[in-house]
Amino acid sequence: MISRNSIRIKVMQALYEYSVADVKAPKHAEKMLINAFEDMYCLYIKMLALFIPLTQIAEQIIEVKKTLFFAKEEDLHPNLKFIENQFIRKIGENKPLQKLIDHYGLGWNNDVEMVFVRKIFDSIANQSFYIEYMQDTTRSFANDKTFILTLIENFLLENEMMIHYFSERKLHWQLDYNDVVIMVYNTLKGFKEKQAETVSIPPLFRISEDGISEDKEFMLNLFRFTIQHDEDYKQVVIKKLQNWEADRIAVLDFILLKMAICEFCCFPSIPLRVTLNEYIEISKYYSTPKSRMFINGLLDKILDELKAEQKINKQGRGLMG
């Protein structure tokens, strides 16, 4: 479920933390990397658990308004479309999800969290897409599903209030937030009206029919091999530097270069063009303004030399591109 790009970014972050640590402990660093992915999955479950509490808050507001002395007609006969949203009900009925929520203790159960849920609902209720949804008299699973997917796209993604809230609970959640929202969107997009309550929630790492997760193996091996061959990859980079001292290279740039070399040499099923494009793109967002051109030019030279030295052996899918 998690993309290879997201895996590379988290491995990059773990390698950075490892590189600046006073004591180099690869096993401990690997454990911390695994924990970071587990935390990411917990945020994913927490986000999936948000929709039912939103309807509960909406229902509480409706009930309070009914008791007002000067209750209006719309208060006495409220629009129940949101609290009766069929798609949210389908999410709440999913037994594997409820089991995961209970297992990790990720429900929105206490008063403090429900105060935040109230803030989120109040903000949603002022959005134009919510107002249009409530005014639309259509009542169908498809209509309700479209609304929730729109809510995720137009409200939850890059929502500063949500990011701030989650960052106060776990620092990594601030970095993971947008990737997790995309994962939530993709999961819910696959929900169908007639699907069974027992349909599984996907794990963080895709698992093949033979029970193996290539993505998890990729994550662990990319981290391990980059550390194991750190000095060799460093020398490969240094050989290609022209009028540039190694210690002037940004730490993240050096890490990205080593990770790319690792993929060139140790992952026969990954096409060379995929590796090049991914690390150039990551450098654009996580390193210096000039890093993209620097890494692009250097990796082209390094790749030519590795090919000449026959250190690259691509197979299967790796031969594409």
241 lies in the same domain as 175:
no
263 lies in the same domain as 313:
yes
Is residue 243 scored above 80 in pLDDT?
A: no
Total domains present in the chain: 2
State the burial class of residue 43 (Cβ atoms within 10 Å of its Cβ: 0-12, 13-18, 19+): buried
- Are 231 and 24 a contacting pair, CB within 8 Å? no
Q: Mind listing the pLDDT tens digit for each residue in 139-189?
A: 999 999 999 999 999 999 999 999 999 999 998 899 999 999 999 999 999
In a domain, 164, yes or no: yes
In a domain, 194, yes or no: no
150 lies in the same domain as 51:
yes
Q: What is the pTM of this model?
A: 0.92
Q: How far apart, in whole angstroms, are the C-alpha atoms of residue 31 and residue 47?
A: 25
177 lies in the same domain as 291:
no
CB atoms within 10 A of CB 113: 16
152 lies in the same domain as 43:
yes
In a domain, 215, yes or no: no
Is residue 244 scored above 70 in pLDDT?
A: no
What percent of the chain lies above the pLDDT cut of 90?
A: 82
Q: What is the 3-state secondary structure (H, E, C) of 150-197?
A: HHHHHHHCCCHHHHHHHHCCCHHHHHHHHHHHHHHHHHHHCCCCCCCC
- Are 50 and 117 a contacting pair, CB within 8 Å? yes
53 lies in the same domain as 130:
yes
Q: Whose CA is closest to 156, among 136, 171, 177, 142?
A: 177
Domain of residue 257: give its range.
Answer: 229-319
CATH label of the domain that carries residue 256:
1.10.940.10
Q: What is the pLDDT of residue 320?
A: 78
